[in-house]
Structure 1
Amino acid sequence: MILKSLSLLNYKNFDSKSFTFNEKINCIVGNNGIGKTNVLDAIYHLSFGKSYFNPVATQNIKHNEEFFVVNGEYEHKEQTEKIVVSLKRGQKKMIKRNGKAYEKFSDHIGFLPLVIISPADRDLITEGSDTRRKFIDSVISQSDKNYLTHVIKYNKVLAQRNALLKYFALNHTFNADTLDIYNNQLNDYGTEIFKKRALFLEAFIPVFKERYLAISNGNETVDLVYSSDLFDADLNTLLNKAINKDKALQYTSVGVHKDDLNFNIAGHPIKKFGSQGQQKSFLIALKLAQFDFIKAQSGINPILLLDDIFDKLDEQRVAQIIKLVNDENFGQLFISDTHAERTEAAVRQVHQSYEIFKL
């Protein structure tokens, strides 16, 4: 999987910009605020149809412009693939592959495997369970279309059940039969989601621990612990038990939409007990394990984006990561940094071809 070229039109701070990339290492360097991260985000956009950093789609359009276009040309399984993501104010976003628009964005997910490591990943530790669920879902979805379909359908039914609970409260009424229809659908989709999350983590956790061991030189023990209501009972039983609570709250209080992934170091939450260095190592190990898992599932080297990691890590950890990406198991790599000399010194240690783009 190689991104050969990228062109941006009215994307974030760029009016018009084009790049032709090296098939191994590409370094985007320049001062803060010049748009280095925006280049990486454009590459992310091509894989996922959305920004990694800004969920409000229209805010990715350059100020005072009406649209943006991100255009990428890939070499994928010895074929040329042209992907275009575009958005015009007041209209739906479009994703096209070789000139043909996708009917459903979900059909595109997983076609261009990609992993990003960024300072924004800290949200996985500091934010609520929703952020960690999205991480699990994004990894599984890149190799399992049915899983993504189940998640989309589950969330749709969940919204309908919550709307019904609000309707009951507003109109002082209750209809158990109508609620049962939603309960049964949530149970069907939720059970599949729970099973796939549990199976995924069973395979993923040992890979993550191995990666952490390599980055930290084996000084600490870390773990990921899957937390779900469905370990206690099937979802139908849980929903029936919680009905009085749900009626009072006017939303669904149990289900896989409440799942979490606990991040532990030496048996304690890393959020409270991990140093900054340990937390950074934890997140990088998490993302490198994501890389390993997606590669194992798809048989393709995902594109790897390293956003501003040199500023956030000590030299020893940077050296470990550079050593890891020197391995032939890695494919194309994109690095953003403020210091051109520092970046070049680091990539020179890697016996691969590289290109430096100064913004």
Structure 2
Amino acid sequence: MWLKNITLLNFKNYADADLHFSKTVNVFVGNNGAGKTNLLDAIHYLCLCKSYFNPIDSQQIKTAEELFLIQGDFHRQEKNEKITCGVKKNQKKQFKRNKKEYDKLASHIGLFPLVMISPYDVNIIMDGSEERRRFMDNVISQTDAAYLDELMVYNRHLLNRNALLKQIALTRRYDPSLLEIFNEQLVACGNRIFEKRKLFMQDYIELFNTYYQFLTEDAETVDLTYQSQLNDTSFDTLLSSSIEKDKILERTTTGIHKDDLIFSLREMPLKKFGSQGQQKSFLIALKLAQYAYVEKYKGFKPLLLLDDIFDKLDDRRMHKLMEMVSHHDFGQIFITDTGKERVINIFNEIKVPLTLFEVNNGGVQHA
């Protein structure tokens, strides 16, 4: 799969743009703030129906304009496919595949898989467990359409149970039979999600270790662990044993919505003891393992987007990374960087041709 071209209208800082890409390495160079990352985000929209950075669609519209439009032509599984995304202020987002609008956006997820690596990803390490669950869910959702539906159903049941707990606290009336119904709904859905997460991690951890060892040349020992309350106790037992706590706090305190991924370096928390370079290598390995996992289960290569990838990487790791993604058949790649000469030199050294675009204050042209 590869993206042949993209057209933008009033997207972020672009009034309009029309770009044609190569099947291999495409690089956007320019100063900070010029709009390089916005081009990657437009590609992310086409593949996953949303911005990588901001969940509010209307905030992606260029200042003083009423709408934005993104359109791209993909070549996927021997077919050409046109994807169109349009957002108008105070209106529902429109998403079309070959001019036919989707009934639900979830149907699009996984058809045009994508992996993005960005400085923003440090949130996966530094923020709370929600960020790591979101990462895990994003990977699985691109390979399993039913998983995304399960997540939405689980979250709906969770909201219902939490609403009942608030009602119990407010009215002081407790109906065990009604709570049991909510418990059964939550358990059935939660168990299916838990099993899929476990199966995913069995494959994923091995892939992650391979990429991390390659990037660092086995210089460090790291661990990636899936943590879930359901690893030790059944979900229905957890809900039953925590009911008094749940009633006091007015929310569900146990379940798969508390799952986490534990990152460690030499058996110490990566968040506290990892250098910026070590954290960056860890994140890159996470994302490259995501790429390999998606390719394995989709049967074709996702797009790979690398935003300011050379930031905080020493020369050795930087060259290892570029060697890996360029020579190990990673398919179509999009890269942003501030240093035109640096990028040219890196790819000359590893003897990989690239297509270069220069970005300057909302304008972009083939270099």
Matched, 1:144 2:141: no
Number of matched pairs: 359
Matched, 1:176 2:156: no
Partner of residue 278, structure 1: 278
SS in structure 2 of the partner of residue 248 of structure 1: helix
Aligned residue type for 1:292: A
Shift in alpha-carbon separation, 1:339–1:9, aligned structure 2, 3 A: same
Aligned residue type for 1:273: F
Partner of residue 224, structure 2: 224
Distance between the aligned counterparts of 1:349 and 1:104, measured in 2? 46
Partner of residue 16, structure 1: 16
Map 1:155-194 onto structure 2 (within 5 A): 155-194=155-194
The alpha-carbon deviation at position 311 of structure 1 amounts to 2.6
Structure 1's consecutive aligned runs of 4 or more residues displaced over 3 angstroms after TM superposition are: 349-353
Distance between the aligned counterparts of 1:89 and 1:176, measured in 2? 45
The alpha-carbon deviation at position 231 of structure 1 amounts to 1.3
Partner of residue 292, structure 2: 292
Give per-residue Cα distances to partners, 1:42-84, cap 9 Å, x unaligned.
1011111011111122111111111111111111112111011
SS in structure 1 of the partner of residue 22 of structure 2: coil
Partner of residue 134, structure 1: 134
Partner of residue 346, structure 1: 346
Distance between the aligned counterparts of 2:264 and 2:42, measured in 1? 33
Aligned residue type for 1:192: R
Distance between the aligned counterparts of 2:66 and 2:183, measured in 1? 43
Matched, 1:247 2:247: yes
The alpha-carbon deviation at position 274 of structure 1 amounts to 1.1
Partner of residue 206, structure 2: 206
- Partners of 1:205 and 1:224 within 8 A in 2: yes
- Partners of 1:44 and 1:50 within 8 A in 2: yes
The alpha-carbon deviation at position 114 of structure 1 amounts to 0.7
Map 1:48-67 onto structure 2 (within 5 A): 48-67=48-67
Distance between the aligned counterparts of 1:220 and 1:236, measured in 2? 40
The alpha-carbon deviation at position 328 of structure 1 amounts to 4.3
Map 1:104-123 onto structure 2 (within 5 A): 104-123=104-123
The TM-score, its normalising length taken from structure 2, stands at: 0.96
The alpha-carbon deviation at position 290 of structure 1 amounts to 0.6
Partner of residue 124, structure 1: 124
- Partners of 2:276 and 2:312 within 8 A in 1: no
Partner of residue 3, structure 2: 3
Matched, 1:32 2:32: yes
Distance between the aligned counterparts of 1:181 and 1:309, measured in 2? 49
The alpha-carbon deviation at position 347 of structure 1 amounts to 2.1
SS in structure 2 of the partner of residue 92 of structure 1: coil
Distance between the aligned counterparts of 1:2 and 1:342, measured in 2? 26
- Partners of 1:22 and 1:353 within 8 A in 2: no
More off after superposition, 29-38 vs 61-70: 61-70
Distance between the aligned counterparts of 2:132 and 2:247, measured in 1? 27
Distance between the aligned counterparts of 1:127 and 1:151, measured in 2? 21
The TM-score, its normalising length taken from structure 1, stands at: 0.98
Distance between the aligned counterparts of 1:86 and 1:180, measured in 2? 43
Listed as ranges, the gaps of 5+ residues in structure 2 are 360-367
The alpha-carbon deviation at position 24 of structure 1 amounts to 0.6
Give per-residue Cα distances to partners, 1:280-316, cap 9 Å, x unaligned.
1111011111111111111111110000012331111
Listed as ranges, the gaps of 5+ residues in structure 1 are none
Distance between the aligned counterparts of 1:353 and 1:294, measured in 2? 25
The alpha-carbon deviation at position 236 of structure 1 amounts to 1.3
Distance between the aligned counterparts of 2:81 and 2:351, measured in 1? 28
The alpha-carbon deviation at position 351 of structure 1 amounts to 3.9
The alpha-carbon deviation at position 326 of structure 1 amounts to 2.1
- Partners of 2:71 and 2:83 within 8 A in 1: yes
